[in-house]
Amino acid sequence: MGVGIRVENLNAWYGKTQALHEINLDVQANHATALIGPSGCGKSTFIRCLNRMHETTPEARVEGKVKIGEHDAYDGTSATKLRRRIGMVFQKPNPFPTMSIYENVAAGLKLNGYRDKRHLDGVVEKSLMSSALWEEVKDSIHKKSGASLSGGQQQRLCIARALAVEPEVLLMDEPCSALDPISTGKIEELIFELKAQYTIVIVTHNMQQAARVAEYTGFFLLGRLIEYDKTEKIFTNPSDKRTEDYITGRFG
Amino acid sequence: MGNLRGPVPDTAPVAARLEICLWRRAADRMTTAFAILSVVLVLAPLGAIFGYLVYRGIGSVNWAFLTQTPKPPGESGGGMANAIAGSVLILAIGSLMGVPLGIGAGIYLAEFGGNRFGDMVRFVSDVLNGVPSIVIGIVAYALVVLRQKHFSALAGGVALAIMMVPTITRTTEEMLLLVPNSLREAAYALGVPRWRTTLSISLRFTAFGNQYWNWRLDQPTAALPLQIFTYAISPYDDWHRQAWAGALVLIILIVSAVAAVRFVVRRGTLGGVA
């Protein structure tokens, strides 16, 4: 099951440049939350703070509080443990090119030391089914490499890989920006189904997409969270002038 | 010539346009011809050496040559089996010491070496790469031979290891830097620790002559290059023939080693799946 995320007074830096200013936001469990805003506004930095990927960048720094369910993400427990609870899908599909489809999906478990083959077989099948890829690849999961799939399939493979470690939260950083409309449609349908089990935070440049998949939407501008509300409200009756300007296409 | 770049203007007179087209075609042909000529010039010496070795050496490569040890001068027959085995032995010792060290240093440079110490290691490694092999031989002589009081396969292996380390280090680093960061991030996001990511994701990737067999690392050991040298400068025709044969065997061993490595590497990248 998904868990909620509570973010309090979050600030983030790249070296001396402050990328996020005083972000406060509650993400609802088992819902999809979309983050929109012009390029460079801090959306990606924000979700990278949630699973502590931000700190893998040299000279990057974070201050503030992030609670994933009941657990404080920055209380000194290891980042690797946290990341096992939070799956992440990136902008460009990044399957491990030298691994088969099966190995890609099993990678998270295998690299963390699971060896039970029957258990792994089950997890791989279940994850590929959850990411709606199973029917297309079931006959070749050992024969084909992850890189041999089409872009849309690769992205669904990456989703399966993230789901295989049974996370509670799924972060998606512009997961469809490198995909054609049909693949995009498939991923969006998928997000709808995955909500039942996971809390989803999705960064997108596509406002229709945000409107289609997310119950809640946050608008970022220049490293600040300008407005955060029900998606419907953001797109029909935003409270902030800047949000309105952005969604009506006056800038960005 | 100034017209080689940019589209041919439609307004130019027909004759001028034709001239430009001819120029471009000629330039294209000349560049291609130059490239082909360069390839031939690069490959010719290799082909010539290999061809001449086959011509001079093939007659003396036989079962006895590969399986017997040298006979005293004047006696015919005998072979270089001990030198072949010695070469393999020294290479094995050198690799055993040099490969892990070089790969370790390469991993450090690629994954953690983005600081001043890393730059220093890179510099030192490049300097070591440029040190002539004879100097490394003297170091191995001082380190091992003088202490053991005689030449040995171990000393050869140590020298070879010192020569291997910088090449392996920088090759490993280059290889690791080619791994896209997105793959590292994919692994981190799965909760895979950094060391595991590096190992599982990023890495996927003076001895002096002896007449006899030697498998003891602390004893003088024959090696092909030295045996070839000794035989080639000797006054005996029979030894000359054997030197040719030895050179041929050496180059065949090298070619097969390179081919084997390529085969394994290719299987590793496409195969991963097999």
pLDDT value for B1: 47
Residue A198 located in a structural domain: yes
Residue B39 located in a structural domain: no
Measured between beta carbons, which residues in chain B are less than 8 angstroms from residue A87?
189-190
Residues in chain A whose Cβ is within 8 Å of chain B: 51, 53, 56, 58, 80-88, 90, 92, 94-100, 103, 107-108, 111-112, 142-145, 158, 161-162, 165
B116-130 vs B153-178: helix axis angle to the nearest 10?
130
Domain that holds residue A48: 5-92+168-247
- The per-residue pLDDT for range B10-50, each reduced to its tens digit, is 666 777 778 888 889 999 999 999 999 999 999 999 889 88
Region B191-219: what's the mean pLDDT?
Answer: 63
Distance from CA of B272 to the nearest CA of A (A): 5
Residue B206 located in a structural domain: yes
Residue B15 located in a structural domain: no
pLDDT value for A45: 94
Residue A162 located in a structural domain: no
pLDDT tens string, chain A, 252 residues long: the values are 778 899 999 999 999 999 999 999 999 999 999 999 998 899 999 999 999 999 888 889 999 999 988 888 888 778 888 898 999 999 989 998 878 899 999 998 888 888 888 889 999 999 998 888 898 998 888 988 888 899 889 999 999 999 998 899 999 999 988 888 888 888 899 898 888 899 999 999 888 899 999 999 999 999 999 999 999 999 999 999 999 999 888 765
Task: Give the integer Cα–Cα distance in Å for A130 and A109.
Answer: 17
Task: Give the integer Cα–Cα distance in Å for A226 and A241.
Answer: 10
Residue A236 located in a structural domain: yes
Residue A135 located in a structural domain: no
Measured between beta carbons, which residues in chain B are less than 8 angstroms from residue A83?
188-191
Give the other-Cβ count within 10 Å of A223's Cβ: 21
User: For residues A83 and A171, is the Cβ–Cβ distance under 8 A?
Assistant: no
**Reduced to 3 states, what is the DSSP secondary structure of residue A120?**
helix
CATH code assigned at B204: 1.10.3720.10
Subunit contact A111:B196, Cβ cutoff 8 A? yes
Q: Which of B183, B188, B189 sits opposite A96 (nearest CB)?
A: B183
Domain that holds residue B85: 81-221
Measured between beta carbons, which residues in chain B are less than 8 angstroms from residue A93?
none
DSSP string, B102-114: HHHHHHIIIII--
Q: In what order do the strands lie in the sheet with A216-221?
A: A86-89, A169-173, A199-203, A32-36, A216-221, A224-230
Cα distances from A132 to residues A155, A158, A187, A200, in angstroms, run: 11, 12, 9, 17
Cβ partners under 8 Å of residue A94, min gap 6: A158, B180, B182, B183, B185, B186
- DSSP letter at B203 equals T
Distance from CA of B126 to the nearest CA of A (A): 26
Task: Give the integer Cα–Cα distance in Å for A190 and A20.
Answer: 30
Residue A152 located in a structural domain: no
CATH code assigned at A192: 3.40.50.300
Distance from CA of A88 to the nearest CA of B (A): 6
Subunit contact A98:B196, Cβ cutoff 8 A? no
Please count the structural domains in chain B.
1
Residue of B nearest to A92 (CA): B182
Q: Output B116 or B66, whichever has higher pLDDT.
A: B116
Q: Which of A80, A81, A94 sits opposite B186 (nearest CB)?
A: A94
Please count the structural domains in chain A.
1
Task: Give the integer Cα–Cα distance in Å for B188 and B201.
Answer: 10
Residue B259 located in a structural domain: no
Subunit contact B189:A98, Cβ cutoff 8 A? no
Among A36, A135, A158, smallest CA distance to B189 is for A158
Among A185, A126, A187, A181, smallest CA distance to A154 is for A187
